Structure 1
Amino acid sequence: MVTLGAGSTAGFSAILIPQLQHSKGRHKYSIETISWLASISSFALVFGNLLSGYLMERLGRRRSQLVCVAFFISGWVLIGCSQDILYLILIGRFITGLCQGWLGPLGPVFVGEISSPIYRGFFLAAMSLGIAAGVFMSHLFGTLLHWSYAAFLCGSFPLVGGIVLYHAPESPAWLASRNRIDECIASFQWYRGTSPEMKSELDKMIAEQTKRDNSKGKIEALKLNIKKPEFYKPLFVMTLFFIITQLSGVNVICAYTTDMMNELIGGHTNKKTVYIAMLSIDVLRCVSLCLACVLLRRLGRRPLAMFSGIFTSLSLITLALYLYLVDTRVIRHITPIISLGLMAMYIIVSNLGISPLPWNMVGELFATETKGIGSGISVMMTSIAFFGTVKTAPAMFESIGHHGTYLFYGLSTLIGTLFLFFYLPETKGKTLLQVEEYFRDGKCKPQEPENVPLSKAQV
């Protein structure tokens, strides 16, 4: 539910900007103003990421989310009560963007720590589905209602999420890292049950924690941890993966959906058709992410990343070529079936891998003691890339056209896919400790047989 609020933040500008432009208010909105209305929330993501890494370690995963929820609700209320006052809208957008960035590393880390290896990919993919559902709901609210009422409805999502989180226990991995073993056991059993295989994983978690040297100060321990390969290797992979995702243009589609649909359908179309096309794309995105939740559990991360990356770049490059032929009058009239079909293909294949995968894997790749700083830095880099792509999109559309913009995104995705082919590890079915061992030793040790408890010597 909190993730729905984050998705609503990403999609809200697509209904806010057209309504403001067509309102009879005193403001005239330049391209620069429009770009700031769309991108100010992504600008705030960086500050949210910086807060998140610190607070999730200081307060814990659960309490940090509860504080985030309080700010989230206040941001949406401020937007809803702004009454067309531009600076209040911008402040509200900044606060909700801050919370979106706050949740960016925190959500996947929390979900990754409370879920079992067999379902972890499914649950983490469901967070990306939550983002897509939030985008759809904000677009739906804005299609049916004035944007101020839509803002209040978007604020109800984090409110419900906060109520749920209030009654849930803290992450067992964080409790173990603080040597609160009794609370860790109770939390682990609440989330995961008491079966023999679950008990075996719990024993390993506690045994791993007892081996760690807790005599050093936090700063000294952090300095030692960031020099380890299990920190800097996943940081390198995740930072590049997040940037690749942003350069594929997935969030530009969310922020400027109405304008892009108008371009793809053709200039002479009515508002109702554009909004129907926008909501259809949103539904398609949600369906694709539902399919990704299933495929991630069955196929793993690497196959989906390769498939999604290749076909995302192909669909963007083909769409760019088609629009170029229309612009140069080789093709006289744009055909919505072709243009929207290529966009639909792009939405499907990008949301099967490139879009959800980095959010899945940021909760899997980092070791427990560096999870906060590692996820915070890598998500901060995607926030910078997010802001850059959303802020520059109107200028790119204006200067090199839609076809040039899509070509840039397509080539960026293709180059990024080559990087993923060589460096992205497979984490399907592996415990968090096994992933840590992979980056430390270069390989994952085979899983021990289930239902076999640890010996006294191992404990």
Structure 2
Amino acid sequence: MEHGNKVISTELEKIHKQSLEKDNEVKHVYYNTKTPYRRQALAALGTVVLNCGVGATAGFSAVLIPQLKHGRNKLDHKLNTEMESWVAAAASFALIFGNLISGYLMERYGRRSSQIMLSFPYMAGWAIIGFADNIYLVLLGRFITGFCQGWLGPLGSVFVGEVSSPVNRSVFLAGLSLAIAFGVFMSHLFGTLMHWKHAALLCGLFPLIGCILTYCVKESPTWLASKNRVDDCIESFQWYRGTSPEMKNELDKIIFEQSQRDQSKSKLKTLLANIRKPEFWKPLCIMIVFFILTQLTGVNVICAYTTEMMKELIGNHANRSTSSAAMLSVDILRCISLVVACFLLRKLGRRPMALFSGASTCLTLIALSGYLYLVNNRVIRHISPFVSLSLIAIYIIVSNFGVVPLPWNMVGELFATETRGLGSGFSVMTTSVAYFGTIKTAPAMFESIGHHGTYLFYGLSTMLGTIFLFFCLPETRGKTLIEIEEHFRNSEQTKTKPVPDDGTV
């Protein structure tokens, strides 16, 4: 261990010597603050485009199911409620398996390499849907695209979180949620304007473009440090972050943290030791509840069954054109809300936005439930599209201000380096189970307890989740990944010792 520390110390001295020798040569590159930002943005853009494919996967069933039900299928297979739910839920079911391998692959092969690897089966899944001539090929394609969606879930957030500087991280991570919303909109737009087969082939362009962009950037420096590839780590970190004094200090911390690990232990013993640490199980509990909360708000149910839900909310005024227009309007509103959320999260922080969003979403769902209940019981004679669509618009706005994007932002921030793959993978696997459960059960809930009962269930679930976040969710805005890790590691001490009033949590 002492020998390992000497090696690390030598490497740190080499970093400073190399930096001093090269400062004059590369000053115009590294001290230009735009250059690191552009490189971080390029890395984030590749993941963003891949996440557009995630949104397309989530939203595609909303245009696929109506076309299959109304004779534009050419599959000679009638859709009943059970098969309809499987067409929508096949992708969400496969998410679980993608999550299971995501953590292992990102730790084994790296964040960048894993993103490139998943692009190929993702494209294949869309191609299978596009050329399908029976319902079972459609289900196979949906399963493959869902598998890749689950694979990317924890991976994208971890990669973007590790290559981004603290000041840019919130915007880039919020951009991943915006990309999902944009992907939903594009899949709905493709499916509205053309046959579902052609729409599927166009959706396959997202993983292709994302793969090309990711190929053009470097591997995560944090992952390289975890593999003792110190020279590669230095090169990658400077490529992404520059060589300012602040960046040098952060690089020193990354390499020093790696030097403290006991390399003599087996991987199994190291894993068992790490999962007992508070910097693993505390963020794990927070992320599990946060991800389940997101699913129980019903946001993905709306993505999957938008057309059918719009008919219920519009009432007698509903027809195919008005339902499609309402669906696309909801998608555009979702994208606009997430753009605003990117800036609000950077300015106000994670915790305030999470609590505001959770409370507002809860109240809106309960109000929508109450309104539909009054209509169904003829207290109100006719449903008013203005009232119902206004409530759903408010719901879309406030949910996308916090409870929708934040779990995907924070899963790449909260876990320690050595357990980031495991923690993020397990957290996202939990949301995948909840995602599958909500998508699969939604049609049965609509039939058994009605739309008003379903929205009430989602509203009360959101309320319980928000109460948990009030007591447990920390603020991470402006903190480095090392500082966030230290917060969980030292939180037991801060319960008994006064905390300095310096703005940190």
Range class of TM-score, shorter chain: over 0.9
Q: Which residue of 1 aligns with 2:70?
A: 22
Aligned pairs for 1:3-402 within 5 A: 3-23=51-71, 25=74, 26-83=76-133, 85-402=134-451
**TM superposition outliers: structure 1 runs of 4+ over 6 Å:** 444-448
Q: Within 1, Cα distance between the matches of 2:318 and 2:467?
A: 39
> Structure 2 CA distance, aligned partners of 1:44 and 1:66?
19
Q: 2:244 & 2:334 partners in 1: Cα distance? A: 37
Q: Which amino acid aligns with 1:398?
A: E
Give the Cα separation in 1 of the matches to 2:148 and 2:102.
Answer: 9
Residue 334 of structure 1 aligns to a residue whose secondary structure is coil
SS of the residue 1:387 aligns to: helix
CA offset at residue 220 of structure 1?
Answer: 1.2
The match for 2:19 is: none
Cα deviation for residue 257 of structure 1 reads: 0.3
- Which residue, 467, 482, 488 being the options, matches 1:418? 467
Q: Using the alignment, how far apart are the partners of 1:397 and 1:269 within structure 2?
A: 18
Q: In 2, Cα distance between the equivalents of 1:290 and 1:187? A: 29
CA distance in structure 2 between the aligned counterparts of 1:306 and 1:268, rounded to whole angstroms: 36
Q: Specify the code of the residue in structure 1 equivalent to 2:71.
A: S
2:7 match: none
Distance 1:192 1:336 in 2: 50
1:292-345: CA deviations, max 9, x gaps? 110111100110011000000000000000000000000000000000000000
The residue matched to 2:346 in structure 1 has which SS? helix
The whole-number CA distance in structure 2 between the counterparts of 1:418 and 1:73 is 41
Could you say if the C-alpha distance between residues 107 and 256 of structure 1 is closer, same or farther in structure 2, counting changes exceeding 3 Å?
same
CA radius of gyration, larger in: 2
1:180-233 superposed Cα distances (whole Å, 9 cap, x missing partner): 011111111111122221122111111111122122121111111011110011
* TM-score, normalization by structure 2: 0.87
Instruction: Tell me, in whole angstroms, the C-alpha distance in 2 between the residues paired with 1:289 and 1:71.
Output: 28
Q: State how far apart, in whole Å, the 2-side matches of 1:352 and 1:192 are.
A: 29
CA distance, structure 2, for counterparts of residue 367 and residue 29 of structure 1: 46
Match of 1:453 in 2: none
Counterpart CA distance in 2 for 1:412 and 1:154 is 33
Instruction: Supply the AA of the counterpart residue of 1:59.
Output: Y
Greater mean deviation of Cα atoms: 326-335 or 19-28: 19-28
Alignment length (residue pairs): 447
Identical-pair percentage: 66
RMSD: 1.4
Task: Indicate the SS of the match to 2:204.
Answer: helix
Q: Would you say the 8 A contact 1:434–1:445 is kept in 2?
A: no
Q: Which residue does 1:451 correspond to in 2?
A: none
Distance 2:238 2:309 in 1: 48
Following superposition, the deviation at residue 354 of structure 1 comes to 0.5
State the alpha-carbon separation in 1 of the partners of residues 466 and 499 from structure 2.
27
Equivalents in 1 of 2:310, 2:178: separation in Å? Answer: 22
Task: Give TM-score, length-normalised by structure 1.
Answer: 0.96
> Per-residue deviation at 1:267?
3.8
Per-residue deviation, residues 132-186 of structure 1 (Å, max 9, x unmatched): 0000000000010100000011000110000111121110000000010111111
The letter of the residue matching 1:4 is: C
Unaligned runs of 5+ in 1: 449-459
Following the alignment from structure 2 to structure 1, what is the Cα–Cα distance between the partners of residues 169 and 421? Answer: 18
Distance 2:445 2:471 in 1: 31
Q: CA deviation at 1:446?
A: 8.1
Partner residue of 2:18? Answer: none
Return the offset for 1:28. 1.2
**SS of equivalent residue, structure 1 residue 266:** helix
**Structure 2 gap ranges (5+):** 1-48
User: How big is the shift at 1:445?
Assistant: 8.8
